[in-house]
Structure 1
Amino acid sequence: MIRRSLLLSAAAVLTLAACGAGGEKAGEGDALIVGATAVPHAEILEIVKPILAAEGVPIEIKVFNDYVQPNVQLAESRLDVNYFQTKPYLDEFNAARGTNLVTVAGVHVEPLGLYSRKHNALAALPNGAQIVLPNDASNTGRSLLLLQSAGLIRLRDGENPLQTVGDIISNPKDFQFREVEAATIPRILPQVDAAVINTNYALDAGLKPRTDALSLEGANSPYINYLVSRPESQNDARVQALARALRSQAVKDFIARKYDGAVIPAA
């Protein structure tokens, strides 16, 4: 009997080890696993944690420092949802990667800004100035529209958000453009004349968009940051609870207090 019990115990241990070897996928545990960039997304998620806990929906926040892995891991079911991106970026990612991630709810807008450590005004940018842009297609086009609205360049199409540097038809000061991965731009800002920086990375680097940006998108920007999921889970009760919490008055009040206009709740 003792020998048989030992054998059964050993078998149970091996079974548990085998189950754990592959790792737990999102949705298999109790917590809703949410991918986000640090600022402001993870900070906002921390505010909704107690709201969701009261509804019996615990969340686990996984912080990323880039724009690719949160979508890759969501598509691979290693996350339940993510919260960091605009729809143009999501559309571009889906087209490039063959994924079909979907938006669940629009939460906030982060006005894109042009920053400089060397010059304190647009007019001070010299001829031939080197200006850095994010290198993903949606943010490159968005950056060029910002520069056009600031009167620095003119584009072939005044409104197309997916234009490239090749679509610049007027560049009076002969600015030189360099495209760099968005997350790295704040680190190289001191080395260039100016750079277009996404607000989440600007805030993370200690920049204050309302006072530090040479030019900043207005509150009417169409680039809303969305909660995103896989198609089969967008109507999951836990995902919908998170969407409601992110669009709650408590979150809107937090955004207004914390970010002083650098982040704006979506309508």
Structure 2
Amino acid sequence: MKKRVVALTLALTLAAGLVTGCGNAKKDDNKADSKTITVAASQTPHSEILAEAAKTLKKQGYDLKVTVFDDYVQPNNVVESGEFDANYVEHKPYMEQFNKENGTHIVDAGDIHYEPFGIYGGTKTKLEDVAEGDTIAIPNDTTNEARALLLLQDNGLLTLKDGASLTATINDIKDNPKKLKFQELEAAQVSKVKGEVAYVVLNGNYALEAGYSVGKDALAYEKSDSEAAKTYVNIIGVKEGNENSDAIKALVKVLKSDEIKKFIEDKYDGAVIPFAG
């Protein structure tokens, strides 16, 4: 799996969403309590938000070091193994399902932001243009596939069986009047087939990476006042027992600060929403 190490320091390049030059700042050799926080993160928006948070954490004596991953699996594995202190890639339902399927012990140390899930045009530019037999690309992991199907149901494209919820799969589709086909892909790959399918259903961060704007490009999306905002809030994940460490508390406090909330609101224009809880 391809990954990129991003050392977050006060000397950072926000335009690229990455930080380089760890060690450029002069260290105080007498500072025995110097601390480092290692975080596994998705590229957008997670690493960018962390880059902004790094400046405040630096003033508090913490060096934030981030590795950018392009999937959702390894960030949990490296936290479970103790290689990293935390991850910032996932929502709680995914974390809980991952723990159940893999025997890991990741817990929620803090609720940070919400990314509206959206339906975007591929070869079709309007939902009303949907035709019989059209293909829709959706994420294939358990919770995100369910989320995509629920959004499609909310927009009248299919009906799920009674009781189908956060674990729904295409096998739970009750009615499919347009005989739609579904291409199930790893979440990071969905946007890459937009030229081959009628529509794609994307996680907020992958929509951003693909150059989509929720407000301008989404044909339909989860509303900010929906139950999904509470259910799918993106979290700081840590191994059970580490959620109350001083370093993790400091990280979460900064990420939930008014300064970071304003950064998110200004930078992402509704594609990323600070969690109010």
Task: Give the TM-score range, shorter chain.
Answer: 0.7 to 0.9
Residues 143 and 196 of structure 1 are in contact (CA less than 8 Å); yes or no, is this contact kept in structure 2?
yes
The corresponding residue for 1:43 is: 48
Which one-letter code corresponds to 1:51 in the other structure? T
Which one-letter code corresponds to 1:175 in the other structure? L
Instruction: Specify which of 235, 252, 277 is matched with residue 226 of structure 1.
Output: 235
1:26-37 counterparts in 2 under 5 A? Answer: 30-37=35-42
1:40-189 counterparts in 2 under 5 A? Answer: 40-157=45-162, 160-189=165-194
Counterparts of 1:126 and 1:158 in 2: how far apart (Å)? 28
Counterparts of 2:188 and 2:106 in 1: how far apart (Å)? 22
Q: 1:57 deviation in Å? A: 1.3
Secondary structure at the aligned position of 1:146 is classed as: helix
Pair member with larger Rg: 1
Secondary structure at the aligned position of 1:183 is classed as: helix
1:235 matched to 2:240? The reply is: no
Counterparts of 1:234 and 1:169 in 2: how far apart (Å)? 41
Deviation per residue, 1:33-73 (Å, 9 max, x gap): 01100100000000110111111111101111111110111
Stretches of structure 2 that go unaligned for 5 or more consecutive residues are 1-33
TM-score, normalised via structure 2 length: 0.84
Residues 114 and 216 of structure 1 are in contact (CA less than 8 Å); yes or no, is this contact kept in structure 2?
yes
Deviation per residue, 1:173-208 (Å, 9 max, x gap): 110112111111111111111111111111011111
Identity %: 39
Counterparts of 2:179 and 2:109 in 1: how far apart (Å)? 42
1:258 matched to 2:263? The reply is: no
> Which structure has more helix as a fraction of its residues?
1
The corresponding residue for 2:30 is: none
The corresponding residue for 1:192 is: 197
Residues 74 and 80 of structure 1 are in contact (CA less than 8 Å); yes or no, is this contact kept in structure 2?
yes
The corresponding residue for 1:17 is: none
Residues 123 and 195 of structure 2 are in contact (CA less than 8 Å); yes or no, is this contact kept in structure 1?
yes
Please identify runs of 4+ aligned residues in structure 1 that moved more than 6 A.
Answer: none
Q: 1:158 deviation in Å? A: 6.1
Secondary structure at the aligned position of 1:44 is classed as: helix
Q: Does 34-43 or 118-127 show the bigger shift?
A: 118-127
Aligned residues: 239
Counterparts of 1:264 and 1:206 in 2: how far apart (Å)? 17
Stretches of structure 1 that go unaligned for 5 or more consecutive residues are 1-28
Counterparts of 2:153 and 2:216 in 1: how far apart (Å)? 20
The corresponding residue for 1:23 is: none
Q: CA RMSD in A?
A: 1.2
Change in Cα spacing, 1:158 to 1:251, as seen in structure 2 (3 Å) is farther
